[in-house]
């Protein structure tokens, strides 16, 4: 037994321990700390190489009260958590929600059936969902543009794309949280159909499906709708998440999110709701106060692979999560939400695991919003209320929409 094999066996046995090494004369002492203070100290020694290893639990770090940094395993980003700043008890502050008096059909809404859009097109009298190419698209299908040779300092490449708007329902007065499951299943079907159709175009490499909800998120219209942007390049967050997921898959033979889901299910504290095919949880590394993720239980790369049951379960968990969000402050909860999935027409994407992020801005009430400013703009994201406390609030929120309660 030499020094190297002892170190390796310790690291294999206790891979999560923080290790500090003390050199004591000719002996080497490994002082290992674990995250469970009830573990007894372990001592190992080796006469040959005069190695002395002590494993002792003297950790005094409490993740529920001490400031600390967490890592987003998908992006590698750091999140500063300051739980001591939100020690005061939860007061469940709920503001009187203004009675939502939106009509089922608004003659001035450019998304309602039969109405004129801003550029003059007339929407059909649709009865389920309705998809159209964005009249003010951020990306254009301009054909194949050739750029001048790359410059090291002024880097610009042409970006080609197609942007679509999806009206989730003909009803102007609903949101995903208030729609029936049957209607939500149709929305999921449309997402899958659109993804399939767009991915058959060779130059499209990435398809972003998302929803911006609420004026607080800059949404221009309360009519329930989302967007799909398909483009010739791969966005940086997708590139980053893809790289890390691929690395993990190569090392462990399963997707990172599969391993993460297993670990979260064992712990349970950040789970909000689950069904046969999907789990909704507050990620360990959440930046936004009530940030959540929906993760598919099966290792699928894109929405294309979802079966009819998985689509139905996605609709169900979407509804459950958005209802809980609305019930939290008895308001139509604003958020930016969207799926992250593997790039298309881009070769092997093993390791990519479909998931959906929800980034809501609300902090303490229907009007108090978190701003990502100051330290967060310049350094790392920071939060006070811990992800575990946020998960508890969402677990406790009713799964029956407050507007449906008598
Ligand atoms: P929001 O999801 O941010 O509200 O955007 C709605 C989109 O609808 C927005 O991108 C488009 C805007 O360009 N739009 C049309 O395509 N036609 C219209 O008549 C008005 C708005
Ligand atoms: Zn409308």
Name the residue ranges covered by the structural domains of the chain: 3-61, 242-404
Write out residues with Cβ below 6 Å of ligand 1: 110, 117-118, 134-136, 165, 212, 218-221, 225, 227
Of 225, 278, 340, 357, which is the active-site residue?
225
Say which ligand is closest to the CA of 172: 2
Model pLDDT, residue 88: 54
**For residue 236, what are the CA distances in angstroms to 233, 239, 241, 292, 311?**
9, 5, 9, 21, 28
Cβ neighbours of residue 348 under 8 Å, at least 6 residues apart?
none
Determine the distance separating the centroid of ligand 2 and the alpha carbon of 110, expressed in angstroms. Answer: 6
**Residues near 261 by beta carbon (within 8 Å), at least 6 away in sequence:** 279, 295, 297
Task: Give the nearest ligand 1 atom to 163 CA.
Answer: 10
CA of 173 to the centre of ligand 2 (A): 7
User: What are the structure tokens assigned to 391, written together?
Assistant: 């998960």
| Residue with token string 């992006």 | 75
332-368 pLDDT, tens digit per residue, is: 999 999 999 999 999 999 999 999 999 999 988 888 8
Q: Is 225 a catalytic residue?
A: yes
If DSSP states are collapsed to H, E and C, what string results for the chain?
A: CCHHHHHHHHHHHCCCCEEEEEEECCEEEEEEECCCCCCCCEEEEECCCCEEEEECCCCCCCCCCCCEEEECCCCCCEEEECHHHHCCCCCCCCCCCCCCCCCCCCCCCCCCCCCECCCCCECCCCCCCEEEECCCCCCCCCCCCCCCCCCCCCCCCCCCEEEEEEECCCCCCCCHHHCCHHHHHHHHHHHHHHHHHHHCCCCCCEEEEEEEECHHHCCCCCCCEEEEEEECCCCHHHHHHHHHHHHHHHHHCCCHHHHHHHHHHHHCCCEEEECCCEEEECCCCCCCCCCEEEEECCCCCCHHHCCHHHHHHHHHHHHHHHHHHHHHHCCCCCEEEEEECCCCCCCCCCCCCCEEEEECCECCCCCCECCCCCHHHHCCEEECCCHHHHHHHHHHCCCCCHHHCC
Q: How far apart are CA 282 and CA 391, in angstroms?
A: 6
Instruction: Please tell me the distance from the alpha carbon of residue 319 to that of residue 400, in angstroms, as a whole number.
Output: 10
Cα of 402 to ligand 1 centre, how many Å? Answer: 29
Sheet containing 68-71: order of strands: 68-71, 78-81, 381-383
Q: Tell the residue number behind the tokens 């294309």, with chain if given.
A: 304
Predicted pLDDT of residue 219? 83
pLDDT tens-digit map of 72-111? 999 999 999 999 887 655 544 555 555 568 999 999 999 9
226 Cα to the center of ligand 1, angstroms: 9
Per-residue pLDDT at 364? 85
Considering every ligand atom shown, identify the ligand nearest to the alpha carbon of residue 104 and give its number: 2
Residues in contact with 164: Cβ distance below 8 Å, sequence separation at least 6, in sequence order? 131, 132, 133, 134, 194, 227, 228, 229, 230
Instruction: Tell me what pLDDT residue 261 has.
Output: 98
For residue 370, which of 387, 392, 385, 356 has the smallest C-alpha distance?
385
- Other Cβ atoms within 10 Å of 188 Cβ, number: 20
Ligand 1 centroid to residue 165 C-alpha, Å: 7
Residue 212 phi/psi, 5-degree rounding, is: -105, 115
Q: Which fold has domain 242-404?
A: HIT family, subunit A (3.30.428)
- Contact between 167 and 225 under an 8 Å Cβ cutoff? The reply is yes
Of 193, 126, 127, the closest CA to residue 164 belongs to: 193
Task: Point out the residues of the chain with pLDDT beneath 70.
Answer: 1-59, 87-100, 406
Residue that is written with structure tokens 């079966």 in the block: 307
Chain center to CA of 385: 18
Residue bearing tokens 């001490």: 66
d(CA 300, CA 306) in angstroms, rounded, equals 8
Give the separation between CA 270 and CA 289, rounded to whole angstroms: 13
Q: Return the ligand 1 atom nearest residue 110 CA.
A: 19
Pocket test for ligand 1, best of 123, 217, 220 (most atoms within 8 A of CB): 220
For the four alpha carbons of 332, 325, 211 and 185, in that order, the dihedral sign comes to negative
pTM of this structure: 0.86
Count other C-beta atoms under 10 Å from residue 374's C-beta: 9
Q: State the pLDDT at residue 240.
A: 97
Atom of ligand 1 nearest to the CA of 212: 2
Ligand 1 pocket: which of 119, 133, 227, 337 to mutate (most atoms <8 Å of CB)? 227
What's the rounded Cα separation, in Å, for the pair 379 and 368?
Answer: 23
Q: Please tell me the number of the ligand nearest to residue 336's CA.
A: 1
Testing ligand 1's pocket by substitution, the residue of 117, 165, 229 carrying the most ligand atoms inside 8 A of its CB is 165
**Nearest-atom index, ligand 1, CA of 116:** 19
């Amino acid at each position: 037994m030499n020094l190297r094999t002892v170190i390796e066996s310790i690291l294999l046995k206790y891979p999560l321990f923080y290790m500090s090494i003390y050199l004591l004369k000719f002996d080497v002492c490994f002082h290992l700390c674990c995250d469970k203070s009830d573990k007894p100290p372990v001592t190992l020694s080796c006469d040959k190489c005069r190695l002395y290893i002590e494993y002792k639990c003297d950790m005094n770090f409490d993740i529920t009260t001490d400031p600390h940094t967490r890592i987003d395993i998908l992006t590698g980003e750091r999140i500063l958590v300051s739980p001591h700043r939100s020690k005061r008890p939860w007061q469940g502050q709920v503001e009187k929600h203004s009675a939502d008096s939106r009509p089922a059909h608004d003659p001035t809404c450019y998304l309602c059936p039969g109405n004129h859009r801003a550029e003059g097109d007339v929407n059909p009298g649709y009865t389920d969902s309705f998809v159209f190419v964005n009249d003010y698209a951020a990306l254009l299908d301009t054909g194949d543009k050739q750029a001048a040779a790359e410059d090291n300092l002024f880097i610009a490449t042409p970006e080609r794309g197609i942007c679509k708007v999806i009206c989730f329902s003909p009803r102007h007065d609903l949101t995903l949280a208030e729609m029936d499951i049957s209607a939500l299943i149709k929305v999921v079907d449309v997402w899958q159909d659109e993804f399939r159709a767009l991915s058959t175009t060779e130059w499209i490499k990435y398809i972003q499906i998302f929803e911006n909800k609420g004026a607080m998120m800059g949404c221009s219209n309360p009519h329930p709708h989302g967007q799909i942007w398909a483009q010739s390049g791969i966005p940086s967050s997708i590139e980053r998440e893809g790289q890390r997921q691929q690395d993990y898959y190569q090392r462990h033979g399963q997707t990172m999110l599969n391993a993460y889901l297993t670990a979260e299910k064992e712990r349970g504290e950040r789970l909000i709701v689950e069904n046969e095919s999907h789990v909704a949880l507050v990620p360990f590394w959440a930046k936004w106060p009530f940030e959540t993720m929906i993760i598919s239980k099966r290792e699928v790369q894109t929405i294309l692979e979802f079966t009819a049951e998985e689509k139905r379960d996605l609709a169900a968990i979407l509804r459950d999560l958005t209802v809980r969000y609305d019930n939290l402050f008895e308001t139509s909860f604003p958020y930016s939400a969207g799926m992250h999935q593997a790039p298309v027409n881009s070769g092997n994407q093993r390791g990519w695991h479909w998931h959906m992020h929800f980034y809501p801005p609300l902090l303490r009430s229907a009007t108090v919003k978190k701003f990502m400013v100051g330290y967060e703009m310049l350094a790392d994201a920071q939060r006070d209320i811990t992800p575990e406390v946020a998960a508890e609030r969402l677990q406790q929120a009713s799964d029956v929409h407050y507007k449906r309660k008598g």
